[in-house]
């Protein structure tokens, strides 16, 4: 359509929208048509060669796919849905993207401006619904505003602390005519996405780091979002400070990195949680002290001074009192701090994690991943997949035990290799997010770990996988329970298993209905060959169902609201540092 | 004020928010108060002295700690230019200076 832009011919709003999506680098849009977006769909075939539309089976699938796409690729995910139910169906994903800082742009159809506020067919107050859970929500009422709105949307979604942006696209704007201008946006006067860190605060922080006897660094998603992986590594190499990751920070440091001590929080490693409590200086980078990380806030990192580095001012001091807050981009702040700190070879306290690791290996890890006999454990499946993929796969998870075990027992050789719903904990995230990840990164293996509950929340997307031939690998850890809730019921609710038993369908028949290759494993000796078979062709989808130990529990565990040093090793044994 | 008081002592605050003239901002700002279960005791919205800049004036009562975090969350909204809170109102002139300074050189 080049002649159109050159000659400044008027285009319809629908075309302008598609042109602007393409101008902003969109090559894939996940969506679902309907009455108030049909004008845009009508023009879609004109752009077929530049914009690939993936028809999902439910709009929730579209937004989670866009999230997976964005997280795997550092690009901005794009979603297109109709008004009313199409729009409300993406609300969960918008909330999920907001809390996990994922850049996505959602375009939703809307009724004509004359009908707004009249309860017209499929009218819903989408701006009202989404403004508390999005980074920006804007209603496009005039065709001539489309390019302005789209360019702002992409700038806002991707800059600073990323997040979801909503464009409520009225029918009038879609059908009106205007000229294409090629508008871009890199500035909004009310918005400062990247604050300039204060040199003074960085100097104070550096001197605290230089003086600390037992420093510990914790990092989160911010490292990946600011592409600060190398800077983090350089900081740790120079300072020799041990580090732990939040769930969303996983893969920012390779699991082989000598400074990496594991995952933090409720089901994190003994070492990281113990170091948190024993350190005299906690350096937090690009993380927000979620309660799944801190446990009881009043005893969290109780011996430590706190340095908090974040790009979002409202995070600093929100949960934890900080001694020094550094407002800025992790990449920039870490590289400056690395210049400012002294080189240190080692710390006396560096060995403290070794004892924790020995206990964890003996009491938790070995029994989980190398049980030798009996039922297959879910963590064992994760560990075998990690062996076979050598930590090179993109790991996607659903929510529940499958997620915690995938986080604990996966290995990561490179960044952007862990995609999971952290802050919202959205069951059903897994299948569509893995789809999006595979579409974004077709050359990487994408391995999804999902429970039987979460699998069925978005199982309809198998249709999308079939239609598009998306080669993701679905590893269904079937325990016939809503395992994570069952675990709480067993441990904290007197074994009253209310509404957590799940009768499952025959997944083999489902796979065959969708023409997806499938294997079922319940004996240990069949596991490795089945994984090999699954991984043999990275371009083809595969469902590997493993019947895992039904009453399996995820440990270590810090019970909700408990202090980070009250760690359960098993149902009736807790961890005491030094014993 | 010492830390203990910051966490527990409730005071009256005057919050002022300078924004772009954008539909829907009122409800999203009000929503931030609701989420933190803060009552709005008084609310006035009007065009400020600075052309194109709207001003919200909000009275509420809460602890200093909550007030501070709430104002940061308000300021985080893309279309919010600046937000302030005072234990004692009457800082209008200083605010205008700060808003003008913030916008200086950014009149693209
Ligand atoms: C949409 C949604 N509904 C409910 C929950 C609460 N929840 C968290 S984990 C879980 C059980 C998950 O069971 P399953 O998918 O079988 O995975 P498992 O824990 O057994 O690995 C539930 C119900 C949730 N996180 N998300």
Q: Whose CA is nearest to atom 5 of ligand 1?
A: A427
Q: What percent of chain B has pLDDT over 70?
A: 86
User: Mean pLDDT over all residues of chain B?
Assistant: 87
CA separation for the pair A224, A221 (Å, rounded): 5
- Please indicate whether, in this complex, the C-beta atoms of B24 and A137 are within 8 angstroms of each other: yes
Domain CATH for B60:
3.30.70.260
- Whether the ipTM is more than 0.90: the answer is no
DSSP state of A448: E
Q: Which two tokens stand for residue A156?
A: 């806002």
* Residue to substitute from A170, A190, A191, interface B, most B β-carbons within 10 A: A190
B92 in reach of chain A (CB within 8 A): no
Q: For residue A398, which atom of ligand 1 is closest to its CA?
A: 15
**Within this chain, domains A3-179 and A199-352 share the same CATH topology:** yes
- Please indicate whether, in this complex, the C-beta atoms of A313 and B68 are within 8 angstroms of each other: no
Residues of A in Cβ contact (< 8 Å) with B72: 313-314, 318
pLDDT in tens, B8-39: 788 889 999 999 998 889 999 999 999 999 99
CA separation for the pair A104, A154 (Å, rounded): 8
| Contact predicate A449/A395, CB 8 Å | yes
pLDDT in tens, A26-41: 999 999 999 999 999 9
Q: Which of A267, A376, A377, A482 to mutate to test the pocket of ligand 1 (most atoms within 8 A of CB)?
A: A482
CA separation for the pair B56, B42 (Å, rounded): 10
Query: Ligand 1 center to residue A485 CA distance, Å?
Result: 7
Where in chain A are the domains? 3-179, 199-352, 376-547
Query: Ligand 1 center to residue A484 CA distance, Å?
Result: 6
- Which residue from A187, A190, A318 is facing B79, i.e. has the nearest CB? A190
| Inter-chain CB pairs, A–B, below 8 Å | 49
pLDDT at B3 over 90: no
What pLDDT does A7 receive? 57
Residues of B in Cβ contact (< 8 Å) with A136: 78-79
B2 in reach of chain A (CB within 8 A): no
pLDDT at A1 over 50: no
* Residue to substitute from B29, B51, B78, B79, interface A, most A β-carbons within 10 A: B78
Taking alpha carbons only, the member of A183, A39, A48, A180 closest to residue A107 is A39
CA separation for the pair A444, A393 (Å, rounded): 6
Is the preceding peptide bond at A556 cis, omega within 30 degrees of 0?
yes
Domain A199-352 sits in CATH 3.40.50.1220: yes
Residues of B in Cβ contact (< 8 Å) with A128: 24, 27
- Please indicate whether, in this complex, the C-beta atoms of B79 and A314 are within 8 angstroms of each other: no
Would you say the CB of residue A482 lies under 6 angstroms from ligand 1?
Answer: yes
pLDDT in tens, A489-536: 999 999 999 999 999 999 999 999 999 999 999 999 999 999 999 999
Strands A324-327, A305-310: parallel, antiparallel or unpaired by DSSP?
Answer: parallel
For chain B, the domain total comes to 1
pLDDT category at A3 given cuts 50, 70, 90 is very low
Domain A3-179 sits in CATH 3.40.50.970: yes
- Please indicate whether, in this complex, the C-beta atoms of A131 and B27 are within 8 angstroms of each other: yes
Would you say the CB of residue A477 lies under 6 angstroms from ligand 1?
Answer: yes
Would you say the CB of residue A427 lies under 6 angstroms from ligand 1?
Answer: yes
What pLDDT does B4 receive? 52
pLDDT category at A91 given cuts 50, 70, 90 is very high
User: Mean pLDDT over all residues of chain A?
Assistant: 96
Instruction: Note down the domain range covering B20.
Output: 3-105
Taking alpha carbons only, the member of A159, A157, A229 closest to residue A194 is A159
Residues of B (32-71) whose Cβ lies below 8 Å from A? 32, 35, 68-69
| Contact predicate A383/A531, CB 8 Å | no
What pLDDT does B88 receive? 67
Nearest residue in A to B66, CA atom: A318
pLDDT in tens, A277-307: 999 999 999 999 999 999 999 999 999 999 9
Domain A376-547 sits in CATH 3.30.420.10: no
Strands A305-310, A243-245: parallel, antiparallel or unpaired by DSSP?
Answer: unpaired
pLDDT in tens, A406-448: 999 999 999 999 999 999 999 999 999 999 999 999 999 999 9
pLDDT in tens, A221-268: 999 999 999 999 999 999 999 999 999 999 999 999 999 999 999 999
- H or E stretch at B56: strand B53-63
| Contact predicate A210/A316, CB 8 Å | no
Average pLDDT of span A162-184: 97
CA separation for the pair A379, A368 (Å, rounded): 6
B27 in reach of chain A (CB within 8 A): yes
Average pLDDT of span A45-72: 98
| Contact predicate A100/A421, CB 8 Å | yes
What pLDDT does A579 receive? 55
**pTM score:** 0.95
DSSP state of A256: T
B6 in reach of chain A (CB within 8 A): no
């Amino acid at each position: 359509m080049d002649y159109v832009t050159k000659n400044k011919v008027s285009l319809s709003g629908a075309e302008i929208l598609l042109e602007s999506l393409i101008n902003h680098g969109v090559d894939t849009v996940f969506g679902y048509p309907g009455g108030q977006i049909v004008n845009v769909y009508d023009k879609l075939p004109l752009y077929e060669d530049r914009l690939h539309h993936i028809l999902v089976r439910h709009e929730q699938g579209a937004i989670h796919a866009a999230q997976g796409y964005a997280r795997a690729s550092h690009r901005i995910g794009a979603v297109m849905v109709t008004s009313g139910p199409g729009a409300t169906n993406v609300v969960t994903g918008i909330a999920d993207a907001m809390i996990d800082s994922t850049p996505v742009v959602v375009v939703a159809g809307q009724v004509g401006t004359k009908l707004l506020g009249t309860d017209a067919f499929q009218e819903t107050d989408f701006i009202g619904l989404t403004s508390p859970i999005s980074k920006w929500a804007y209603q496009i009422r005039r065709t001539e505003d489309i390019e302005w709105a789209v360019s702002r949307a992409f700038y806002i979604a991707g800059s600073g602390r990323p997040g979801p942006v909503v464009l409520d696209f009225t029918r009038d704007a879609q059908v009106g005519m205007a000229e294409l201008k090629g508008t871009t946006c890199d500035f909004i006067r009310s918005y400062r996405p990247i604050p300039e860190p204060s040199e003074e605060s960085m100097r104070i922080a550096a001197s605290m780091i230089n003086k600390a006897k037992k420093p510990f660094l914790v990092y989160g998603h911010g490292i990946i979002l600011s592409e600060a992986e190398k800077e983090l590594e350089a900081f740790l190499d120079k300072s020799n400070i041990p580090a732990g990751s939040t769930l969303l920070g996983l893969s920012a440091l390779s699991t082989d990195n000598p400074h990496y001590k594991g995952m933090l929080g409720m089901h994190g490693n003994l070492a990281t949680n113990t170091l948190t409590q024993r350190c005299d200086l906690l350096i937090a980078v690009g993380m927000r002290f979620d309660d799944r990380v801190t446990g009881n806030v009043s005893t969290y990192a109780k011996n430590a001074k706190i340095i908090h580095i974040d790009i979002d001012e409202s995070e600093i001091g929100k949960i934890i009192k900080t001694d020094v807050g550094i407002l800025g981009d992790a990449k920039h702040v870490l590289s400056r701090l690395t210049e400012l700190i002294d080189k240190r070879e080692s710390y006396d306290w560096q060995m403290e994690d070794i004892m924790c690791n020995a206990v964890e290996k003996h009491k938790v890890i070995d029994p989980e991943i190398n049980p030798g006999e009996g039922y297959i454990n879910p963590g064992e499946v994760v560990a075998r997949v990690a062996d076979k993929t050598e930590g090179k796969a993109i790991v996607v998870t659903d929510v529940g035990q499958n997620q915690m075990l995938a986080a604990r027992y996966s290995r990561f050789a490179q960044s952007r290799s862990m995609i999971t719903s952290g802050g919202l904990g959205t069951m059903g995230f897994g299948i569509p997010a893995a789809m999006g990840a595979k579409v974004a990164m077709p050359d990487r293996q994408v391995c999804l770990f999902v429970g039987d509950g979460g699998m069925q929340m978005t199982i309809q997307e198998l249709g999308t996988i079939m239609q598009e031939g998306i080669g993701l690998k679905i590893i269904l850890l079937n325990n016939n329970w809503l395992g994570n809730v069952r675990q709480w019921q067993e441990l904290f609710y007197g074994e009253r298993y209310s509404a957590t038993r799940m009768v499952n369908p025959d997944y083999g028949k489902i796979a065959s209905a969708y023409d997806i290759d499938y294997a079922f494993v319940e004996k240990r000796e069949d596991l490795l060959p089945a994984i090999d078979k699954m991984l043999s062709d990275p371009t083809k989808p595969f469902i590997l169902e493993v019947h895992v130990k039904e009453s399996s529990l995820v440990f270590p565990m810090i019970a909700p609201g408990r202090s980070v040093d009250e760690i359960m090793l098993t149902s009736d044994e807790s961890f005491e540092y030094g014993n | 004020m010492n830390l203990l008081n910051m966490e527990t002592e409730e005071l009256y605050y005057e919050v002022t928010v300078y924004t772009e003239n954008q539909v829907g901002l009122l409800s999203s700002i009000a929503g931030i108060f609701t989420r933190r279960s803060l009552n709005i005791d008084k609310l006035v919205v009007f065009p400020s002295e600075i052309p194109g800049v709207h001003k919200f004036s909000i009275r509420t009562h809460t602890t200093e700690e909550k007030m501070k975090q709430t104002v940061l969350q308000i300021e985080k909204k893309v279309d919010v230019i600046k937000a302030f809170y005072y234990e004692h109102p009457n800082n209008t002139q200083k605010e205008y200076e700060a808003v003008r300074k913030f916008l200086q050189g950014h009149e693209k």
